[in-house]
A and B are shown apart, each in its own frame.
Chain A
C-alpha cells in the first residue's frame, strides 16, 4: 500500500504539471481538445491525491509500523477516531491533507464549470494546477509521508525494519475538537485558493469583473465559513485542553489563522462596492491575492516554526520552499496587475462621508490595519532580527491595545453600515434608523454598569452590541411587516419569507448577529477572576457565587492512558449544585506524555473552569486552580449563528410570486409606504 500510495502521489505531480503546461498551451492555441485534456488532467490529479491520502489512512488502520509516519503518530491502542486524525498530526501528513482538501475544491470547480465560462476556465485551471504543483513538490520530494523505516544490517546494507508498536499520538491532539478543528481551518486555508484562481484568471483573461465576482462569491463564503469555524474551534480547544483559562493568546499560529480571515472578511464586504457601484476593483483583486498569500503564509508559519510557538512543533526544511512560492506568487500577481491594470478602472467616485460607500471604505481600512498590526506583531521577531540583530517579540498587550479599538470600530460599522443609503444618507434617515437602537443601547449599558460590569472598553462593547442587535431586529421587523401586511402571514413566517427572498442580505444580518454574540463574550474577558489553592480532602474555597469542596481523588485506567481525577463538589448558596472532575492524564508508554482535562460548568452568565494543576511539591496535596470567566459561552453560540448565517447566504433566493395580492391584502398595503426605507424597497446588499 505504501508503494501504491507513493506512486499515486508521484503520478499526481505529473498530471498537475500536465494540467499546468497543457493548460498554458491550450490558452495559446485555443484548441478544444487540448483544453479538455488539461481539464481532465486536473481532475486526475485530484483523484490521485485522494488515493494517496486513502493509502496513508489505510496504513494507520492496519497498524503498519514499518512506516515512519505511522510509527511517529499512532500506536495499537489508539482509537479509530484518532487514527483518522493522526493523518494531520505531523508535518508530512498535514501537507498531504492540504493537498487533499485543495483537491476537493479543485475537482468541484473543474466539474461544476466544465461546460460554462469557456473563456475563463482554462486560466482558472492553470492557476489551480500551479498551486497544486507546489504542494505536490512538497508532498513528493520534501516531506513524503510514505517513508519506511530501515536499518543497516551486519553486512552494511539497508534493509526494511518494522517496529512492534508506534509512539502514539500527541496527547494534546487526543481531544475530539482536534479531529474537527484542523480540517475546518485547512478547508478555510485551501478554500481561498479558488477565489484567488478566479481573480488571477479574470485579470489575465481580462474577463468582466462582475462575472468573476459573481462566480467566486459562493466559494469565498464557503472558505470564509470554514475559516471562521476553524478559528473558533481552535480557540475552544485551547480553552478546554491547555488549561490556562483563556481561549486566545495571540500565539503566532492563532494569528496566522486570523490574518486571511481579516482580509477575506474585508473582501466579502468590499466586493459589494464593485457589484453595486463599480468601485474598488483594484482593491478587490489585491484583497483576494493577499488573502491567498496570507493563507500560504499561515500554513508556512504553522508548519515551519519560524516564529517560536507552542504550536510550531517542527523545524523543518520546508521554509525556503514556502518563501520561494510566496515570492513567486507575488511576482506573478504583480506582473498580471501591471499588464492589465487599465481593465480595473473605477466607474464611480465617492460622494459623501455618510454613505454606504464610505462605511465600506472605513470597514476595509480597519480590517486592513488590523491585518497589518497582527502580521507585524507576529513577524516582529523575524524582522527585528534582520534589521537590528536583536530578536524582539511583542506580546498580548501590543495586540490588545491595537485590536480592541479596531474591533469596536468594526462592530460600530456592523450596525451602521448596512442601514446607510448608497451615495448619500439624509439626517432624517439617520435619526429614524439609529435613534431607538442608540437609546436602548445606552439604557442597557447603564443597567450593566449599575449591576457591576464596570470596565470602559467592555461597556463600550456592550453598548455597541445592543445597538447593533436592535438595528438588525428592526431590519427584520420592517421587512417582515411589509410582507405580513401584503400576504397575511404571521410575523415569524413573514421574517422567514423575507430571509428566503434575499438570502444574501438577511444571511449577512444573521452573521452580524453571530458576531455580536462573539463580541459580548469577548467583552466578558475583562471580568475574569481566578483562585488557586493547595487543598486537602474536605477543604473548600470560594470563587464568586460558588464554593468548591475537594471531595476526593481517584485513578481511572483507560486503554490508552491513566487519569488522576479530582472530585470537586460545587455549591451555590450552600446548596449542592454539581460535581466536577478535572483530570490529569498520563499517556501510555511515555512518562512525558501528560494531558490536562479541564472541568467546565458553563452557563450563559459565566463559566466555572476548574483545573487540577498537579500536586503541591511542598505539602504533597493536590492544587486546584479555578477560574470564573463571564460570558464565554456567548462566543461559541455566536459561532453557531455565524455558520447558520453563512449557510443562509449561500442559498439561492426564493422567487417572489407576483400579482397575487387579494383585495383584503391591498387594503392593508397602504400602511407600508409610510416606512419608506423598507427592506424590499431600498437597495440592499443584493
Chain B
C-alpha cells in the first residue's frame, strides 16, 4: 500500500497547488453582476468591486470626450452615466438603443468608469420577424398547419 500513499501525496500536492492558483485568479478577476437599480443602492465596500452592468444605450446620449466616450445606460426606468476609457475601439454594434454590457468600477465623480464594453443590436437576428419594418404588421407566428 506504500504506492497508494505515494500517489495520494502526489495527487494531493497537484490539487492543492492548482486550487491555490485558482483562488489567486479568482481574487484577481471576480466581477459582480448588478442591475442598475441594485448598483445605485450599493453601499460601503461593495461599491468598490469590479462589476458588470447591462442596459440599453439611451438614444442620443453617446458623446465623445477627450480620453474616452460617455453615454447613458437605461434599464427599467433607472439610468447610469458611463465613461468608457478602454483602449479598444467601441464595437460596431454599439449604437443608440443597442443593448450594452459594461465592465469596470465606479469613480468618485459618480460616473461608472468602464474598461470593457460589449454590445449587441436590439436583435434583428433573433427577434420575431417583421417587427423591424413598418410595412410588416405585428407578426404572430404559427406552426405550419398539421
A residues with a Cβ closer than 8 A to B are 2-3, 6-7, 10, 68, 71-73, 89-91, 144, 146-152, 158, 161, 163, 166-167, 170, 244, 308, 310, 313-314, 349-353, 358, 361-362, 365-366, 369, 373, 381, 390-402, 405-406, 409, 532, 584, 590-596, 613-614, 617-618, 623, 625
The interface size bin for chain B is 35 or more
Q: A6-B144, A397-B29, A617-B64 in contact; A149/B126 too (CB < 8 A)? A: no
11 further A-B pairs in the complex, CB-CB below 8 A; given A71-B130, A394-B25, A618-B64: A2-B144, A148-B142, A148-B143, A149-B141, A163-B130, A166-B129, A313-B126, A350-B7, A405-B18, A532-B87, A625-B88
Please measure, in the bound complex, the distance between the C-alpha atom of A314 and the C-alpha atom of B88, giving whole angstroms. Answer: 26
| B126 A401 Cβ-Cβ under 8 A | no
| A618 B7 Cβ-Cβ under 8 A | no
**Closest residue to B21 on the A side, CB-wise?**
A401
Picked from B125, B130, B144, the residue with its CB within 8 Å of the CB of A89 is: B125
Please measure, in the bound complex, the distance between the C-alpha atom of A392 and the C-alpha atom of B89, giving whole angstroms. Answer: 26
| A594 B146 Cβ-Cβ under 8 A | no
Residues of A contacting B21 with CB < 8 Å? Answer: 401-402, 405
| A401 B24 Cβ-Cβ under 8 A | yes
| A350 B3 Cβ-Cβ under 8 A | yes
Picked from B25, B92, B128, the residue with its CB within 8 Å of the CB of A595 is: B92
- Would you list 19 pairs from A and B whose C-beta atoms are within 8 A, ordered by A residue? A89-B125, A147-B142, A147-B144, A149-B129, A149-B139, A150-B142, A310-B118, A314-B126, A350-B3, A353-B6, A353-B10, A361-B7, A369-B15, A390-B33, A391-B32, A394-B30, A401-B22, A584-B92, A613-B89
Q: A6-B146, A72-B125, A394-B25 in contact; A625/B89 too (CB < 8 A)? A: yes
- The answer to whether B52 has its CB under 8 Å from any CB of chain A is yes
| B92 A596 Cβ-Cβ under 8 A | yes
Residues of B contacting A625 with CB < 8 Å? Answer: 88-89
Residues of B contacting A361 with CB < 8 Å? Answer: 7
**Closest residue to B66 on the A side, CB-wise?**
A618
B residues with a Cβ closer than 8 A to A are 3-4, 6-7, 10-11, 14-15, 17-18, 21-22, 24-26, 28-34, 52, 54, 64, 66, 69, 87-90, 92-93, 95, 98, 101, 118, 120-121, 123-130, 132, 136-146
The winner among B7, B89, B120 for most chain A CB atoms within 10 A is B89
Please measure, in the bound complex, the distance between the C-alpha atom of A399 and the C-alpha atom of B118, giving whole angstroms. Answer: 20
Distance between B41 CB and nearest chain A CB, rounded to angstroms? 13
| A362 B10 Cβ-Cβ under 8 A | yes
| A310 B33 Cβ-Cβ under 8 A | no
Pick the 7 closest A-B CB pairs, nearest first: A398-B25, A401-B25, A617-B64, A391-B33, A594-B92, A395-B29, A613-B89
Q: A6-B146, A10-B146, A402-B25 in contact; A393/B52 too (CB < 8 A)? A: yes
Picked from A349, A366, A584, the residue with its CB within 8 Å of the CB of B14 is: A366
Residues of B contacting A73 with CB < 8 Å? Answer: 125
Please measure, in the bound complex, the distance between the C-alpha atom of A402 and the C-alpha atom of B27, giving whole angstroms. Answer: 13
Distance between A273 CB and nearest chain B CB, rounded to angstroms? 14
Q: A381-B33, A393-B33, A617-B64 in contact; A353/B121 too (CB < 8 A)? A: no
| A369 B14 Cβ-Cβ under 8 A | yes
Picked from B28, B33, B93, B101, the residue with its CB within 8 Å of the CB of A592 is: B93
| A146 B140 Cβ-Cβ under 8 A | no
Residues of B contacting A405 with CB < 8 Å? Answer: 17-18, 21
Please measure, in the bound complex, the distance between the C-alpha atom of A308 and the C-alpha atom of B100, giving whole angstroms. Answer: 12
Residues of A contacting B4 with CB < 8 Å? Answer: 350
Please measure, in the bound complex, the distance between the C-alpha atom of A394 and the C-alpha atom of B52, giving whole angstroms. Answer: 11
**Closest residue to B64 on the A side, CB-wise?**
A617
Distance between A395 CB and nearest chain B CB, rounded to angstroms? 4
Q: A71-B129, A167-B124 in contact; A161/B98 too (CB < 8 A)? A: no
Q: A7-B146, A163-B129 in contact; A394/B31 too (CB < 8 A)? A: yes
| B144 A148 Cβ-Cβ under 8 A | yes
| B137 A151 Cβ-Cβ under 8 A | yes
| A594 B89 Cβ-Cβ under 8 A | no
| A90 B140 Cβ-Cβ under 8 A | no
**Closest residue to A358 on the B side, CB-wise?**
B7
Residues of A contacting B34 with CB < 8 Å? Answer: 391
Q: A170-B125, A310-B118, A373-B18 in contact; A594/B26 too (CB < 8 A)? A: no
| B89 A623 Cβ-Cβ under 8 A | yes
Please measure, in the bound complex, the distance between the C-alpha atom of A6 and the C-alpha atom of B34, giving whole angstroms. Answer: 42
The winner among A10, A149, A351 for most chain B CB atoms within 10 A is A149
Distance between A619 CB and nearest chain B CB, rounded to angstroms? 10
Please measure, in the bound complex, the distance between the C-alpha atom of A135 and the C-alpha atom of B120, giving whole angstroms. Answer: 29
Distance between A402 CB and nearest chain B CB, rounded to angstroms? 5
Q: A146-B143, A617-B64 in contact; A390/B130 too (CB < 8 A)? A: no
Distance between A539 CB and nearest chain B CB, rounded to angstroms? 17
Please measure, in the bound complex, the distance between the C-alpha atom of A72 and the C-alpha atom of B31, giving whole angstroms. Answer: 34
| B14 A150 Cβ-Cβ under 8 A | no
Residues of A contacting B125 with CB < 8 Å? Answer: 72-73, 89-90, 167, 170, 313
| A373 B130 Cβ-Cβ under 8 A | no
Please measure, in the bound complex, the distance between the C-alpha atom of A594 and the C-alpha atom of B92, giving whole angstroms. Answer: 6
Please measure, in the bound complex, the distance between the C-alpha atom of A186 and the C-alpha atom of B121, giving whole angstroms. Answer: 26
Q: A6-B144, A150-B141 in contact; A72/B18 too (CB < 8 A)? A: no
Residues of A contacting B121 with CB < 8 Å? Answer: 592-593
| B3 A353 Cβ-Cβ under 8 A | yes
Residues of B contacting A584 with CB < 8 Å? Answer: 92
